[in-house]
Every structure is written in C-alpha cells, then in structure tokens.
A and B are shown apart, each in its own frame.
Chain A
Amino acid sequence: MSATTPETVFCAKALTKVYAMGAVEVHALRGIDLELYAGEMVVLLGPSGSGKSTLLNILGGLDTATSGEVFYAGQNLTTATERELTRFRREHVGFVFQFYNLIPSLTARENVAAVTEIATAPMAPEEALARVGLERRLDHFPAQMSGGEQQRVAIARAIAKNPSVLLCDEPTGALDSQTGVVVLEALEKVNRELGTLTVLITHNAGIAAMADRVIRLSDGRIVDIRANDTRLAAHDLSW
C-alpha cells in the first residue's frame, strides 16, 4: 500500500438490515459504518449470524439495506434500481462463492467467457485462468475438475472482467486446508498483481493473517477493526 491517502471504494453509513420473518424481526445489521479502500485485502471475521454475509451482499448489490447508505465510488447503491444494480455487478464486482456456482454445461474457458462477453473491458479468459494456474485446464468441464480447481475457475471468472472489487463468501469453506491454501494463493496473487479490493468472509481466524485489515462482526455490529502490520503469505497459513 502506498503512503498517500488511499482511494475510498466503499463507504457505508449507519447501515441496518432487518428481516421480517413472519411476526419476528431479525436484526442482521445494527448500524455499520465502514470504509473500504482500493487495493486492500480485507477479511470479515465473525460467528455465523453475525451479519458478514448480509454486509457482503449489500456491498455487492445483491441485497438492499433497511436504512443507512452505501456508496460505491460516489454512487449511492441504496437508491439504485434493479437495473442499475445489475449494471453495477456486471461492471465492477467479482463474486466468489463457497459452492463455486460454476455453470456445469460450460468448460472452464467458457465459464469465464460467459462473463467476459458481457463485460466492458475484460481480460482474455485464457489470461484469467493462467493467473489462477489453470492454463492447462481450459477445456475441462466442471465435472472433470477437483473442488479446488473449480473454485479457482470461479476466481478466474470473477477477475476476468477486471473488477474493482472482489467479494468472496467463504471461498475455502467447502475445501480441505491444503486445497484451500492454493485457492487463497490465487486470491492473494490477484490482489497483489491487479490491485483489486478483495473482501473475504471467513469464520476461520487463521486466514485473517493474510489481510491488510481484519474486521470483526458480532450480532450485526462491528466490534473491532485491526490492521495487520505485516501480511502473511497464503502458503504460510495453516489451520
């Protein structure tokens, strides 16, 4: 990170999210104030039900806040229409999911191409796959790949559009630690080489060591924001 004031990508103010589950109201977020900066790697830590995923979904334009505001590069996402949110996701956000969510009927290359075809300034699918070390698996279908490989395809798919933010919800949650490390290495490489703001949800404290900042959530509130003095390389992590 440079010493100059970093550019703010996301700015959230007093975000709350209330789900009405029948007669009961569930407060998923109870007033979040947060700024996320370009190029940093942020880990969201917290037990399940702490609101991590809700926060990530609101940042990614998948969900809307009950009150408060979120700005992406000056654009107010809280008031955006469905069409504007789709456009926002299409142009600026890369998603990586716990269960990969690849399209089974498309090869690795085609899964990436599915996104690059609708993006404005994408990289070549081959390049994206090379960045995650899958240059030799271009024409394999999801069914022909291991879980770690599938997740790396998902990362390649997420970065191929040159997004300004990469949102990862438990990307290693379905993987063993060895494979998980390979996936994290891929994320680390992307963050370093492309300078993409990367937000990573985990409930695994071990992973926090690779982040610039670690944000802890509990019961819908931020309880702690801690900056790591040094980031640990992914291959030095263990859990």
Chain B
Amino acid sequence: MGALHLKLIRDLWQMRGQVLAIAAVIVGGVATLVMSLSTYDSLLETRDRFYQQYRFAHVFVHLKRAPEPVAERIAGLPGVATVQVGVLAVVKLEVAGFQDPVTGLLSSLPDTGPPVLNGLHLKQGRWLQPYSGDEVLVADTFADAHGLRPGDRLAAIINGKRKPLTIVGVALSPEYVYQIAPGAMFPDFERYGVLWMGRDALAAAYDMAGAFNSLTLELARGGREKEVIVQVDRLLAAYGGVGAHGRADQLSNRFLAEEFKQLKTTATVFPAIFLGVAAFLLNVVISRLIATQREQIAILKAFGYGNLAIGGHYVGMVLVITLIGVAGGVALGLWFGHGLANVYMDFYRFPSLEYVLDPRVVLVALAVSCLASVSGTLFAVGRATRLPAAEGMRPETPMAYRATVLERMGLQRWLRQPSRMILRHIERRPVKSLLTVLGIACAGGLMMVGNYQRGAIDFMVDLQFRHAAREDLMVAFVEPTGSRALHELASLPGVRRVEGFRDVLVILRHGHREYRHALFGIQPDSVLHRVLDRRMEPVQVPPDGVILTDHLAEKILRVRPGDRLTVEVLEGHRPVREVPVLGITRQYLGVSAYMSRDALNALLREGDVVSGAYLSHDQDSQQALYDQLHARPRILGMVANASAVRSFYATMGEFVLFFNMVATLLAGSIAFGVVYNSARIALSERSRELASLRVLGFSHGEIAYILLGELAVLTLAAIPLGFLVGTGLCGLLVLVFESDLYRLPLVIEPYNYALGATVVALSALVSGLLVWYRLGHLDLVGALKMRE
C-alpha cells in the first residue's frame, strides 16, 4: 500500500485549493459547535462553582420586619441547616458627576464576621471594618460603570435621609450575578447598583435595629424545599412575609437560568443547523469530487486493487480532509469560545472563568463530520467500482442529452449554442443541479440565520418602547400611596402626562399551573403605557378581569379568554380571588398580567391607591425633573426608558452581536466553500469538453461563459431558494427560543436577505474568478488525447 499512500498525499497536495475549501465548510460547522457548547459548559461550570464555593442559599424570603429571635425559630424548623438574616434597603444613590436617577440596593453584612451564606468575593480593596458607620462594598458592575474605586465616596438617600458613604472594596455575590432593577426590562449597570454595608449601620439608618427584613437559608441534607417554604411562610405571615421562594424564583438566578436556557438553545440549535448543513454539503461535495476520480479508480482496479482497498484509499483521503477541517474548527471554535465566554463574563460577573471543553463535543464534531464525508465517499466509490475496469478507463460515453423544456417551448431561436449547452447540462443532470442549488441555498440561508436576531431584537425593542411602553420615565413610590400623589407629580417641571399604576406581587394559578409575577393595574384610558392586541393595536383594559400576554396565557398557564384564574396576592392581607381572563395581548419582551387599576384596587380591598406612575416629560426640563424627584423621600426609584434601551444595546446587544458576527463569519466560510467547490468540480468534470472548444477556436471568455454561465444560473436559482431556507431556519429559531424573557418575532429585515444574497453572489464571483484563471491554463493538447 506504499504507492497508494504516496498517491494520497500527492493527490491532496494537487487539489489543495479544494481541500481548503472543503475544510472551510467543516470548520464552519465544527467551530460553531465547539464555540457554543464550550461557552455554555464553561459558564455553567463557572456558575455552579461560584454558587458552591460561596454557599448560595436555597430559600429566600422578604418581609416587612421581624424581630431577631424569629430567625432562631426558623433555624429550628425541620429541613433547615443554616439561616442568615439581614436588612435589605432600596435607596436612591448620588454618584458624583452622574445626573440620571440611580437606584441602589443596600444589603447588610454581619459585623461579627464574614457572611455564612451568599458569601462575597472581594475583587478589590478590603472588607468592612466591624461596626463602621459609613463603609460600603460595591458590586463590580456598578464600580466599573462609574469608574469607582476603593476610597471614592458616594451618598445614599436612606428613608429620606442623605448618608455619605465611603467605598472600601469591590465585590461579587452569587445572589446578584444578574443585576436588574425591579420593574426594569434589562440590566442597567449605570443606573442600578448593589452595595453592601455593615448590618449595624444599615439597621440604624433604615429603622431596623434588632430586626430583619430579609432571610435566606440553606436546606439540610434531605430537607425538602417545598415543605420548608410552607413552614417559613406560616411563621413569617405575621411579619409581612412576601412568600418564600427557592432558587428557581430568586431574581438573579431566575434570569440567569433563563439566559442559560437561551444560551443552551443557541448552543444546540445553531450548531445543529450549521453542522447539519455543513454535513450535507460535505456529503455532496465529496461524492462529486470522488466521481471525478472515475478513471483513476478504474486504473487501480485494473492493477488488481480490490474494491475494499480502493474504498479505503479514498476514505483515507477524505478523512485527511475532514481531520484538517475538524482540527481547524476546534481551534477556531476554542478561540471564538474564549472570546464569547469573556463577553458573557463582562455581563454576568463571576469571580473567574472556568473555561472547559468537554471532549465529547469534539467527538460529536468528529463523528458527524466523518459520517457525512465517509458516506459521501463510499457512495461515490461504490458507484465507480461497479463499472468494469476497461469501461471505466475509457472516457465516459457521451451522455444522452435532449432539448430542454425551454427550447421545446420555442425559445430555441434566441439561444446560441453555448447557452443551449448551459441549459441542457443543467437539465440533463437534474439531481446534481438540484443538489448544487440546494447546497448554495442552504449556505445563503445560514447567512440569514447568522444575523437574523439583530433585526428581531430591533423590532422587539421598537415595538416595546415606541408602541407599548411609551412613557419616558417610570416612578415607584416607597409604598402604595393615595392617587392624589399623581397630581403632585403632574405639577413637577416639564411633566406632560402622568398615568398611575398599582402593582402587586401575586401567584397566578390555573389548575396545577402557576406563575409568580407582578399584577399590574393600569388606567383604562392609558396613552403612555399601552397594551397591544395580536394585531399590534392598542386595547383598553376591561373594567374587571385580567388580560394576559399570549405567552403567559397559552404556554405557561394554559388559559383562554373566558377561563377563570386564581390570583393569590403575596402582600398585605394576602387575599386569594378568582378573576376571569378577558383578553390576550401580544408582547415579545417579558410577560405581563394587566387589570384596570380600579379593579385591582377593589381586589385588594383598598381605596384609590397607586404604587407608581408612568410619566412623559419635555426633554428640556429633564434635569430639573430628575432633581425634584430625587429630592422627594416618598419616591423610591425611577427607570428611564431611553437609558434602558441604551444600556440594553450596550450590554445584552454586545454578545448577541458578537455571536452573530461569528455565526455570520462561519456561515460565510460555508457559503464560500460550497460555491467554490461546485465551480471547481464543474471545471474538472468538463475541462475536456471546454478544452476541445478552445482548440476549435473558442476564446477564453467564450468557454468561461459556458462553465460560469451554468454556475451563475444555479446561483441565481439558489438565492431565492436560500431566502426560503433562511426564513424556515429563522422560523425554527423563533420556535426554540420561546421563553419567559422574550419571544423572537419572525421579522426578517431587508438587510438579512441582502446579506444572504450578497455573500452567495460574492462567493460565486470570487469562485468564478478563480475558475476563470484556471480556464486560462487548460491543457489543450491533452484534450485531444485519451484522458489519463
């Protein structure tokens, strides 16, 4: 077999251009797989390690106020191992040089030693001095966003009193990996920050001396979360407990889990599509490549090599190409994966990234690629070895051609011979032509998938902030307030319109399905904060009953208009009521449950009460308005829509864009690989015919027209088909990406189509140029002889 090995190496070297193009297809598929899965595995590993090392609690509960000894009673409950209590205060922050409203969450740290549960990772600076009055640690996202460092100072308005604070360190917490302000859609590191302060000092400032309003606990081995929660709720009901919940409903962890679910979907769906398409293309390309080796196979047979040896030879050749592709794909995937994981790290903030690559990922990549290429090889070799050797060595008998449909329809007059050759060649081998078209179409479709999310996100954000949540500012009161407060807001500088809302934390129940969420009571005549129906038209909230986001109604609670829903309020007297579902709304970002404000007030058995308001205001008086709001003690927090959108694009957008950029790049490499191979194989299949024409006096350009004309026709046919494939793949993404956080709309922007078409057309153009160059070096003399 020595000679065959040599032949293998020389053949590979001879067709190195094509080898690289095929490898590019594999690289595209494998790199996507490795990048996505290694990023996912790494983040999961990093999170789990963070949770474990810093003892992230199992059960969390907020309450109004409970005296210290209550903690002992909870610690004594069966199934509870460790309890930690503390004080949580939502405050307004003043950061020097930053004008926008900033909301802070002040969390207490024991003065007696480090926290047992939800430990902090100190990234910079030092720990708090025990019983210090004004020292704080700040979350590193907030510190980064404002360039804060140990030694810097800021101020907090706690319970209406301004308190100057000194930063002594920057920290990370498993409890606040994903930091999002209550009521906000997206994290905003500039306008929302978590800070840690000594328990003694915070309690003094927040009127919580000898008491706590937050409790977290760790379950004992074998302790059952559900049972513990029931008992904790029973114990804390008298202290204004808002319902204990496990990690699943802990804000940071829940968002993180949803994000990871998305990431996992991305990490499985994208590679599945990419690798699937790449495998299909690989199979097609390889089997055509082997088909051009027909005569060589016949010669090897004539030498006395068995079918097995010949099959083995070509499988070996293809495996080398595949291995080059897989190795390149793994390397590129790791590189991109590192980049992507670091982009995520910027967002999620873990102490350190544990970058892992599961060897199984590489095995899957290897297996899929090898399967695709080897099956393509065996199919083609099988066909070639079935021929008697003598026949295989002769040039192929002329294939039976006939006039094409177009010509039979009478178009013949207008077609010159070269054009007829193009059409007949396409029609003569419909399967091959179809596979080529399909291959190029798949590549084009992938291009659309690569950057589809960008357009979809733009659409979601536009719909959310320009048609639904049109307020400039959302203001939250410290506690529910009489609606007279709205008049006061309306009189502030520059305020154009005020719409009050009442929101309350509830559990929505239908049968055994339940969902913990805020129930919003809004004004029926809302102009700013509107609810949209399925046709994106604003609808009024009905005077009684709830309307739900389509996803919440149909996928989570499985209710239809007319069904009755149980609403269990988690605040105040905790009433439980049945209300009818009266409508379904369309919303792509998050989920919501709405009632009219009057109806919600009635359900809570309270008067005309609001918990916050939506505002629109003149842009000119924004600063004056911010200052006024900031000065009012009863106003707790503000969320400005414009800055929310900006921060969204600055952060969440970043990794979507990074991922899309990489996906687009890889799709581009697949597209080029396919188009170039189609052109190169067509060239080797027809070089004899074309050389004959050159001998007969056809110019370089004229024979190029015949070959590249066919490529052009196939490419042009593939582009619209690619739009269909791309739309289908995007539709698949819409289905698999459905989650509570967002549902992607199937909106495909013109630039999606344009990119798909452009990359395919450019690949065809470059391939065409490369083939054009090769056509200039056809062996004219060789064409007159027998093929070797």
Q: Which residues of A contact B (CB under 8 A)?
A: 53, 57, 60, 62-63, 82-83, 86-87, 89-91, 93, 95, 97-99, 101-106, 110-111, 113-115, 117-119, 141-144, 150, 157, 161, 169
Contact = CB atoms under 8 A, between A and B. Distances in A.
B247 interface: no
A82 B697 CA distance: 11
A22 to B, nearest CB: 14
Interface in B762-788: 780-781, 783-786
A115 B697 contact: yes
B144 to A, nearest CB: 65
A52 B420 CA distance: 36
Contacts of B401: 104-106, 141-143
B418 A114 contact: yes
Contact of B398 (A89, A90, A97, A141): A141
Nearest to B399: A104
B14 interface: no
B424 A105 contact: yes
Given A110-B417, A143-B400, A93 B697 contact: yes
B223 interface: no
Contacts of B420: 105-106, 110
Nearest to A113: B417
Interface stretch (B517-525, B565-573, B687-695): B687-695
B694 A115 contact: no
B31 to A, nearest CB: 40
B418 to A, nearest CB: 7
B696 A115 contact: yes
Contacts of B699: 83, 86, 90
B395 A103 contact: no
11 contacts: A62-B780, A82-B700, A86-B694, A97-B695, A101-B688, A103-B692, A104-B398, A104-B401, A105-B428, A114-B696, A115-B697
A118 B698 contact: yes
A106 B417 contact: yes
Most chain B beta-carbon contacts within 10 A, residue among A87, A91, A95:
A95
A103 B695 contact: no
A103 B420 CA distance: 11
A129 to B, nearest CB: 15
Contacts of B428: 105
B783 A103 contact: no
A106 to B, nearest CB: 6
B696 A157 contact: yes
A119 B780 CA distance: 20
Given A118-B702, A141-B402, A143-B399, A104 B696 contact: no
A102 B786 CA distance: 14
A134 B148 CA distance: 94
Query: Mostly helix, strand, loop or mixed at chain B's interface?
Result: helix
Contacts of B700: 82, 86
A89 B697 contact: yes
Most chain B beta-carbon contacts within 10 A, residue among A86, A98, A104, A161:
A104
A115 B700 CA distance: 15
A40 B588 CA distance: 86
B352 interface: no
Interface of B: 395, 397-402, 416-418, 420-421, 424-425, 428, 688-689, 692-700, 702, 780-781, 783-786
A114 B417 contact: yes
Nearest to A90: B697
Nearest to A57: B781
Contacts of A111: 417
Contacts of A91: 697
A91 B688 CA distance: 22
Given A86-B700, A97-B695, A105-B420, 4 more contacts: A103-B421, A105-B424, A115-B696, A150-B398
Contact of B400 (A63, A86, A141): A141
Contacts of B421: 103, 105-106
Contacts of A117: 416-417
B689 A97 contact: no
A142 B697 contact: no
A169 B785 CA distance: 9
Contact of A62 (B400, B402, B695, B698): B695
B693 A103 contact: yes
Nearest to B427: A105
A104 B697 contact: no
Nearest to B400: A143
A75 to B, nearest CB: 15
Nearest to B701: A86
Contacts of B400: 141, 143-144
Most chain B beta-carbon contacts within 10 A, residue among A53, A93, A143, A157:
A143
Nearest to A163: B697
A101 B399 CA distance: 13
A83 B697 CA distance: 10
Nearest to A141: B401
Contacts of A118: 697-698, 702
A83 B694 CA distance: 11
A161 B694 CA distance: 15
Nearest to B403: A107
B267 to A, nearest CB: 47
B398 A102 contact: yes
A22 B310 CA distance: 29
A185 to B, nearest CB: 23
Contacts of B693: 103, 114
Given A118-B697, A143-B401, A103 B689 contact: yes
Most chain A beta-carbon contacts within 10 A, residue among B697, B780, B781, B783:
B697
Contacts of A161: 697
Contacts of A93: 697
Contacts of B781: 53, 57, 62-63
Contact of B786 (A99, A104, A114): A99
A86 B693 CA distance: 11
A161 B400 CA distance: 27
Contacts of A142: 398, 401
B694 A101 contact: no
A89 B697 CA distance: 5
Contacts of B395: 99
Contacts of B780: 62-63
A95 B417 contact: no
Contacts of A86: 694, 697-700
Contact of A89 (B397, B416, B688, B696): B696
A143 B696 contact: no
A161 B425 CA distance: 25
A54 to B, nearest CB: 9
B694 A105 contact: no
A86 B402 CA distance: 30
B425 A105 contact: yes
A97 B697 contact: no
A143 B785 CA distance: 20
A142 B416 CA distance: 18
Nearest to A56: B784
Nearest to A104: B398
Given A91-B697, A104-B399, A105-B425, A97 B692 contact: yes
B425 A97 contact: no
Nearest to A169: B784
A225 to B, nearest CB: 25
A91 B698 CA distance: 10
A143 B398 contact: yes
Contacts of B695: 60, 62, 89, 95, 97, 101
A57 B781 CA distance: 7
A60 B784 CA distance: 12
A144 B402 CA distance: 10
B330 to A, nearest CB: 39
Contacts of A82: 700
A162 to B, nearest CB: 13
A142 B397 CA distance: 9
Contacts of A60: 695
Given A89-B696, A95-B695, A143 B417 contact: no
Contacts of B398: 102, 104, 141-143, 150
Contacts of B694: 86
